[in-house]
Amino acid sequence: MLTKRIYLFSGTQYCKFDVKGFSVNTLQYPADIATWWKGLPGGPIDAVVNWGINRLYFFVGPDYYRWNVLTDQVDAGYPKPIAGNWSGFAGTGFENGVDAAVNWGNGKAFFFKGDRYLRMDWNTSTVDPAYPKSIGQFWSGLAAAGFDRDIDDVVNLGNGKVYIFKGGNYLRFDVATNTVDPDYPKAIDPEWPGVFPGGISAATEWPIAHVDPNAGFRVPIFTSQCTVADTVDAAGNPLRAGGRGFRMEVDFVDTEYPMSKSVGEYRQYARGRGTLNGHIIAHAMPNPSGGAPVPMNDRLDAAGQAGTFLEDGLVAPPVGRNVFYGHRLALPGNVDSSDVYGNDRIRDGNYVGTDFPSVTAPAGNQFALAGDFLGQAVDSANSVLGGAGEVLSSFQWSVDCSGVL
């Protein structure tokens, strides 16, 4: 199964369904919509559709909300009316609200209302010609099951099966054969443990990130020799920098639904130290909790154990540079050439970063650099408790360099 989690809504509450375990954590859910979904009304939600590119659309009566997966809140300027904003809805009755919606994963999305449905082209954001059509006439097996009108919502697991909910029941629809599987419908309870047994009002698949299995994680792809180069300080005074550079490349892909390359991000962590004429140089790192900078940890702590990695970044980056590597929302205009996602930082899946850890001082000083780095590709939309994202790929390497500046 490709889908990792599903969110299901009922009244003023929602639950998170773990597809791998096929269950809900009943110690945490159900929970209140108003508490956790910033900017959405407290319920009920009529329909939700995962539109890709970090966005979900929530439909409530004649209005809709655009949810930003990266910021975990409704985008500015919403809600907006469906009428006038969804091409092809005008005059169909769908501009007044929808019952259910689903991304089919093939460039099409379906919207349901009463006994009719629309098919929308994902790329052009327009309704295909000759719609709306009758659910019962064109969805094989739904009429016989009593699912040919007033559908509550539809979920696409991304494994060739789609689940359609109505009242306290659901059925499983096979995408390849375009028919209802045998022995359906069934009751939500106990087939969907922890889900609202009386029925749902809306549901949606959560986007997931995926690294291209064909050598999509190349970290580091290149590491230079120990190098000493000319540089200058902020006032333009000449200095020398001794260190070793490297390059990081990650390819995120969205070849199957609900994969979304735009929720894949790169993370880099570091520990170690630099010395100048035998004396340790204090190196400040951005505070992971915010606030004042914190010192970089050494390779080994006072007890001789491995030092803790801290996220690699600049405490006070110059104009055009990011604090941390890989964060999608940093400098979306791609002005930092050492930290880039293709031509569009929010949408593209190909990450390229460069780094040159070094010791900088006037010429003639003796320097040494001993550092460890940890690079990770993460699924930022599916973070684990207390983490920055689910780790998809990871590699650790060392950078050592010494000489005379």
- pLDDT for the residue numbered 302: 81
**Do 83 and 13 belong to one domain?**
yes
In a domain, 210, yes or no: no
**Which of 362, 333, 144 lies closest to 241 in space, CA to CA?**
362
Residue 126 to residues 47, 88, 109, 152, Cα–Cα distance (Å): 18, 6, 10, 23
Q: Are residues 141 and 101 in the same domain?
A: yes
Whether residue 222 is found in the same domain as residue 169: no
Q: Which pLDDT does position 218 carry in this prediction?
A: 98
d(CA 194, CA 88): 37
246 and 182 assigned to the same domain: no
More confident residue, 332 or 341: 341
Q: What's the whole-number mean pLDDT along residues 105-123?
A: 95
Three-class secondary structure of residue 34 per DSSP? helix
Whether residues 16 and 58 fall in one domain: yes
8 A C-beta contact, residue 383 and residue 391: no
pLDDT at 386: 57
What confidence tens digit (pLDDT) does each residue in 349-384 have?
A: 999 999 999 999 999 999 999 999 999 999 999 876
Determine, yes or no, domain membership for 212: no
Q: In which residue are the tokens 């966005």 written?
A: 55
Percent of the chain with pLDDT strictly greater than 90? 85
What does the angle CA 381 – CA 317 – CA 272 come to, to the nearest 5 degrees? 80
User: How large is the average pLDDT for residues 180-204?
Assistant: 96
Rounded distance between C-alpha atoms, residue 365 and residue 359, angstroms: 10
135 by DSSP, 3-state: which?
Answer: helix
Cα distances from 275 to residues 88, 136, 294, 304, 368, in angstroms, run: 66, 75, 18, 19, 5
pLDDT at 319 over 90: no
Nearest of 95, 118, 94 to residue 108 by alpha carbon: 118
- Whether residue 187 lies inside any domain: the answer is yes
> Residue 139 — pLDDT band, cuts 50, 70, 90?
very high
> Can you tell me the mean pLDDT for 237-255?
96
Could you tell me if 62 and 83 are in contact, meaning their C-beta atoms sit under 8 angstroms apart? Answer: yes
> Alpha helices of 146-226 — where are they, by DSSP H?
188-191
Domain-terminating residue out of 152, 171, 205: 205
pLDDT at 261 over 70: yes
- Tens of pLDDT, residue by residue over 265-282, are 999 999 999 999 999 998
Over residues 50-108, the pLDDT tens digits come to 998 889 999 999 999 999 999 999 999 999 999 999 999 999 999 999 999 999 999 99
Contact by Cβ (8 Å): 185, 169: yes
Domain identity same for 169 and 81: yes
- 167 shares a domain with 236: no
Residue 384, pLDDT score? 66
Q: Is the peptide bond before 132 cis (omega within 30 degrees of 0)?
A: yes
Domain span at 330: 217-404
Instruction: State how many domains the chain has.
Output: 2
Task: Please tell me whether residues 376 and 229 are part of one structural domain.
Answer: yes
Peptide bond into 44 cis (omega under 30): yes
Handedness of CA 250, 251, 256, 258 (dihedral sign): positive
Going by C-alpha positions, the residue among 34, 42, 37 that lies closest to residue 69 is: 37
Per-residue model confidence (pLDDT) at position 385: 58
Q: Is residue 211 a part of any domain in this protein? A: no
> What mean pLDDT do residues 318-330 have?
90
Residue, of 9 and 289, whose pLDDT is higher: 9
pLDDT in the model for residue 38: 93
237: in domain: yes
Residue 116 covered by a domain: yes
**Residue 126, helix vs strand vs coil:** strand
Of 180, 205, 230, the residue at which a domain comes to its end is: 205
Distance between CA atoms of residues 67 and 78, nearest Å: 9
Q: Are residues 192 and 221 in the same domain?
A: no
Are 50 and 92 in the same domain? yes
Say what the pLDDT of residue 93 is: 96
The overall average pLDDT reported for the chain is 94
pTM value > 0.85: yes
81 and 27 in a common domain: yes
Output the domain CATH number for residue 151.
2.110.10.10
d(CA 275, CA 369): 7
Of the three residues 205, 227, 260, the one that is the final residue of a domain is: 205
- Same domain (yes/no): 290, 229: yes
Confidence of residue 348 (pLDDT cuts 50, 70, 90): very high
Residue 301's pLDDT is 85
Residue 11 inside a domain? The answer is: yes
Checking if the pLDDT of 25 tops 80, the result is yes
User: If pLDDT is split at 50, 70 and 90, which confidence band does 16 have?
Assistant: very high
